Amino acid sequence: MVIGMGRSSRAPASDYARAIDTLLDAGLEYRRFGAGALMLAHVAAGQLHAYYEAHMNSWDALAGMLLIEEAGGTCNAFLANAGLRRGNLVLAGCASVQPRLAALLAK
């Protein structure tokens, strides 16, 4: 599996490094193409299996998350905890991948 990763200055760099270590230890690959919105579109198009970023603003995340859901994928509850105003973690992907990835990154 290939997972897109985003990096936000609103989350500690150590969290980003820990997520990368977790993915690599599980035998997964990760890519970073730049804009998180673009990588969410890559997930919806089937070019990535999932996307993870510790913090995204709603205006960067919601359109891509809608694309993924319309393509049959699954997304986390981005709007929880005032996500619309404050932003939130993004974990979105193929319906068969996203729950497994959520469990892996929660460890």
**Residues placed in the known binding site for Mg(2+):** 60
Question: What does residue 92 show for φ and ψ, rounded to 5 degrees?
Answer: -135, 145
Q: Note whether 93 and 51 are within 8 A (CB).
A: yes
Question: Whole-angstrom Cα distance, residue 85 to residue 78?
Answer: 11
Helical spans, DSSP H, in the chain: 13-25, 36-44, 58-70, 83-86, 98-106
Binding site per annotation, positions: 60
User: E strands within the chain?
Assistant: 2-5, 29-31, 50-56, 74-75, 88-93
